[in-house]
């Protein structure tokens, strides 16, 4: 049975929490040994934050009281949990399908964010280049700080869009790999 002791992120005492699982249970115990979470292994993968696990190499367990985010100092725990998660996702094709659909929606959403922000930024640049300078005391000079703030948000959107699309693509490729591994492991009829 894999068992790992980890400290919560933001906990100054670094008291170790116990995370363990086998074929019959998935448990999280606090530093005093009290049971915080017990889940059936068949649904435990739904309580694991996949993004945190794969992108931040950090274990985060979602509980009814809120997420338990552990410090990412235990690489063995993250690796064991990734193996556990992939095995459980293979046995839950409906949830895997939902994750794949969500990741596929991120790809065009990111492109749309970038396209809309880029178009608005280009329109402003065109207007600023072709419009005459406003006279002193004009109302537009009073809101210059707001225009700068909006332009900063648009540039952030232009940069964020491809990142969102790339993240969606990485998730989709990961779920596709897990799905293909599940299909290979199925016995032929």
For the record, the structure tokens of 102 come out as 């969500």
Quick one: 81 and 141 in the same domain?
no
Looking up residue 16, the CATH number of its domain turns out to be 2.30.29
What is each CA distance from 71 to 2, 30, 76, 81, in whole angstroms?
A: 18, 14, 13, 14
pLDDT of residue 42 exceeding 90, the answer is: no
Contact 71, 147 (CB under 8 A): no
**116 or 144, greater pLDDT:** 116
Q: End of a domain among 58, 90, 122?
A: 90
Give residue 172's domain range. Answer: 93-185
Confidence class of residue 159 from pLDDT cuts 50, 70 and 90?
Answer: very high
> What 3-state DSSP class applies to 23?
coil
Contact 121, 151 (CB under 8 A): yes
Average pLDDT over the chain reads 87
Quick one: 131 and 81 in the same domain?
no
Distance CA 112, CA 24 (A): 44
Q: Which of 99, 113, 19, 98 is nearest to 58 (CA)?
A: 19
Quick one: 80 and 100 in the same domain?
no
Quick one: 123 and 148 in the same domain?
yes
Quick one: 64 and 127 in the same domain?
no
Quick one: 72 and 57 in the same domain?
yes
> What 3-state DSSP class applies to 119?
helix
Q: End of a domain among 69, 90, 111?
A: 90
Contact 53, 81 (CB under 8 A): yes
Quick one: 12 and 82 in the same domain?
yes
Quick one: 70 and 109 in the same domain?
no
pLDDT of residue 160 exceeding 90, the answer is: yes
Quick one: 55 and 23 in the same domain?
yes
> What 3-state DSSP class applies to 189?
coil
Quick one: 104 and 178 in the same domain?
yes
pLDDT score for 77: 85
Q: List, for residues 133-142, the tens digit of each pLDDT value.
A: 888 888 887 8
Q: List, for residues 24-37, the tens digit of each pLDDT value.
A: 888 998 899 888 88
Distance CA 161, CA 117 (A): 9
Evaluate if pTM is beyond 0.75: no
For the record, the structure tokens of 73 come out as 């100092």
**65 or 122, greater pLDDT:** 122
Q: End of a domain among 72, 90, 108?
A: 90
- How many Cβ atoms sit within 10 Å of the Cβ of residue 120? 16
Distance CA 4, CA 81 (A): 10
Distance CA 78, CA 71 (A): 11
Quick one: 77 and 102 in the same domain?
no
Quick one: 45 and 128 in the same domain?
no
Whole-number percent of the chain with pLDDT over 90: 29
Number of separate domains in the chain: 2
Stretch 146-155: mean pLDDT: 95
Distance CA 44, CA 181 (A): 20
Q: What is the DSSP string of 73-98?
A: T-HHHHHHHHHHHHHHHHT-HHHHHH
How far the first Cα of the chain sits from its last, in Å, is: 32
Stretch 63-71: mean pLDDT: 86
pLDDT score for 189: 47
pLDDT score for 143: 87
């Amino acid at each position: 049975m894999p068992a790992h002791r980890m400290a919560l992120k933001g906990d100054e005492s670094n008291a170790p929490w116990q995370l363990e699982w086998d074929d019959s249970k998935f448990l999280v115990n606090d530093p005093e040994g009290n049971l915080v979470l017990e889940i059936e292994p068949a649904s435990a993968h739904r309580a694991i934050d996949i993004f945190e696990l794969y992108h931040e190499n950090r274990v985060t367990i979602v509980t009814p009281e809120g997420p338990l985010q552990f410090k990412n100092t235990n690489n063995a725990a993250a690796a064991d949990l990734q193996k556990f998660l992939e095995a459980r996702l293979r046995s839950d094709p409906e949830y895997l399908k939902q994750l794949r659909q969500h990741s596929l929606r991120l790809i065009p959403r990111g492109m749309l964010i970038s396209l809309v922000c880029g178009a608005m930024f280009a329109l402003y640049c065109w207007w600023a280049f072709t419009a005459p300078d406003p006279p002193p005391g004009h109302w537009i000079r009073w809101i210059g700080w707001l225009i700068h703030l909006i332009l900063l948000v648009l540039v952030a959107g232009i940069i964020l869009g491809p990142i969102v699309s790339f993240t969606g693509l990485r998730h989709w490729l990961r779920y596709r790999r897990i799905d293909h591994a599940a299909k290979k492991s199925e016995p032929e009829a």
